[in-house]
Amino acid sequence: MATRATNVRGWFDDRFHLDDLKALAKKKTVPLHRYSYWYFLGGMTLFLFGVQVMTGALLLLYYRPGADEAFESVQFIMTQVQFGWLIRSVHSWSANLLVFMAFAHLFSVLFLRSYRKPRELTWMSGVLLLILMLGFGFSGYLLPWNTLSYFATKVGTEIPAQIPVIGRPVLLFLRGGEDITGSTLTRMFGLHVAILPAIATLLIVLHVGLIQWFGMSVPPGVEAAWAKNPGERREIRFFPNFVLRELMAWYVALGLLGTLAALFPWTLGVKADPFAPAPAGIKPEWYFLFMFQTLKLIPAKIFGMDGEMLGILAFGVVGAVALLLPFLDREKPFHTRRWITGLACVFLGYMAAMTVYGWVAK
C-alpha cells in the first residue's frame, strides 16, 4: 500500500513538483499573539460560503424558478425530497451566519488595522465581497416566492428608487419591469446562481491570493512590541497546527448549522399573492433591518429635501468611506486612527441598536 501511495505521489511530483509546494507550505506561518483568535473569522466566512455553494448546488437539483412553480418546488423539497428540509434549512441558516460572520470579519480587521499598507486592495476586495454577500441574501430571499419574500423584495427595491437620476433605472433593472413579477424572480435567480457567484469567485481568488502574497497582518501594538524585542515574536505553522485548529472551528460551525436546521427548520410560508394587501409589519431580513429602521425614522423632509433620499445617499457615503478606509487612515493633517476607531464603534453600536429596534418595533 505504501508503495502504491508513493507511486501516486511520485506521478504527481514528476509533473507538478509537489515537494517544492510542500516545502513552501511548510514555511507558511501565522503570527501568534493575544489577538490571533480573530484570524479564524476570515476562514470561517470562506467555509460558510463553501457551505452555501454546496447546499445551493443541491437545491438547484430540485428548485424551479418561475412564479407558478417556485413555491411549489420549495414545498416539494421541504416535504417530499429526502433530507430536503435539511439542505434547505442549512442553506437558509448558513446564509444568515455568513452575513454575520462577514460583518464580524470586517470589524475585526478594522479594529486590528489589517487594512494598512500594503493590504489596501485586500481590504477593498473584502468590502466588495461583503456587499456581494448582501446581494446574495437579497436575491436569494425572493426565490421561495412566498408572501414574506414577495413583499420584502417589493419594499427593498423601492428604496434604491429614491436615488436621484439612477434610482428608477436601478429599480427597473432589479425588478425586470415596473412591478415584482415572474420576470423579477427570473432575474434574481440569474443573479443569485450565476452572476453574483462569478463575481464572487473572482473577488475571493483575488482576496485570498492577496492574503497569501502579503501574509498575515499583525496589529500595530504587537508589531511595535516585537520590533523592540524580536525574540518575543511568536509564529505558529499554518500546516498542520493552524489548519487543525481551524478545522475544529469549522466542525463547531457544522454542528451549529445542523442543530439550527433540525431544531428550527426554515418555514415555507404561504405562496405569494400579488393582489393581496401587504401583511402588517413587513420587514426585511435582520441584516437589512438597521438601514430599514433608519429610513423609517428619518423625517419626511430635511431642509426641504426628501428625507428618504438623503438617508440612502448617507448609506452610499458610509459605503464609500468603508471602501476607501485604508486611504483615510493617515498621519497628516492629523492622526485619523483614533477617529476611525471611534466612528467604527459608534457605527457598530448604531447598527446593533437599530437592528434590535427594527426587530421589536411594530
Partner 1 sequence: MTVWLVAACLIVCAVLAAAQTKNSCLDCHSNLPEPLGVSVETYSQNIHAQKGLTCAACHGGDATADDPEKAMSRSAGWKGKIEHKQVPELCASCHANAELMKKYNPGLRVDQFQQYKTSVHGQRWAKGDAKVAVCTDCHGVHELRPPSDPRSKVHPTNIATTCSRCHADAEYMKPYGIKTDQFAKYQESVHHEAMTVRGDLSAPTCTTCHGNHGATPPGVANVTNVCANCHVFQAQLFATSPHKAAFAAAGFPGCVTCHRNHGIKHPGDHMIGMGEKAVCKNCHVDGDAGAQQAVTMHDELATLAAAIAASDELLTHAERQGMEVSQAKQQETQARDALLKARVTVHTFSEKELKKDTDAGLAIAKQTHAAGEQAMVEWRYRRVGLGFSVAAIALVLVGLGLYIRNLEQK
Partner 2 sequence: MVVSGATAATPEPRDVPRRRFVNILLGTGLLASAASFLYPILKYLVPPKLPDLGGDAVLAAKVSELKPNTGKTFRFGSRPGLLVQTAPGEYHAMSATCTHLGCTVQYRPDLREIWCACHNGLYDLNGRNISGPPPRPLEAFDVQVRGDEIFVRRKQEA
The residues in 61-100 that bind partner 2, with binding defined as CB under 8 A, are: 61, 64, 67-69, 72-73, 75-76, 80-84, 86-87
Distance CA 85, CA 91 (A): 10
Q: Nine-digit cell at 167?
A: 434610482
**Binders in 267-286 for partner 1, by CB under 8 A:** 267-268
233 binds, among partner 2, partner 1, none (CB under 5 to 8 A by kind): partner 2
Q: What span, in angstroms and rounded, lies between the C-alpha atoms of 242 and 43?
A: 11
One residue of 234, 301, 330, 335 binding partner 2 per CB under 8 A: 234
The site partner of 78 among partner 1, partner 2, none (C-beta below 5 to 8 Å per kind) is: partner 1
Q: Is 96 in the site for partner 1 (CB under 8 A)?
A: no
Q: Name which of 201 and 241 has its Cβ closer to partner 1.
A: 241
Is 259 a residue that touches partner 1 (CB under 8 A)? Answer: yes
Element (H, E) at 34: none
Should residue 201 be labelled a site residue for partner 2 when binding is judged by CB under 8 A? no
Mask: binding to partner 1, 73-92, rule CB under 8 A, as x and -? Answer: --x--xx-----xx------
Instruction: Report the partner that residue 213 touches, choosing among partner 2, partner 1, none (CB closer than 5 to 8 A by kind).
Output: none
Q: What is the largest CA-CA distance in the chain?
A: 81
Please tell me the distance from the alpha carbon of residue 359 to that of residue 361, in angstroms, as a whole number.
6
Question: What's the grid cell of residue 1?
Answer: 500500500
29-31/301-302 β-pairing: unpaired
Cell of 5: 501511495
Q: CA 157 to CA 284: how far, in whole Å?
A: 11
d(CA 167, CA 77): 37
The residue (of 19 and 72) whose beta carbon lies closer to partner 2 is 72
> Which of 310, 290, 291 has the alpha carbon at shortest distance from 299?
310
Regarding 273 and contact with partner 2 (CB under 8 A), the answer is no
263 binds partner 1 (CB under 8 A): yes
Contact 245, 36 (CB under 8 A): no
Q: Which is nearer to partner 2, 142 or 325 (CB)?
A: 142
E strand segments, 28-133: 29-31
Q: Which residues bind partner 2 (CB under 8 A)?
A: 26, 29, 32, 58, 61, 64, 67-69, 72-73, 75-76, 80-84, 86-87, 181-182, 230-231, 233-237, 239-242, 251, 254, 274
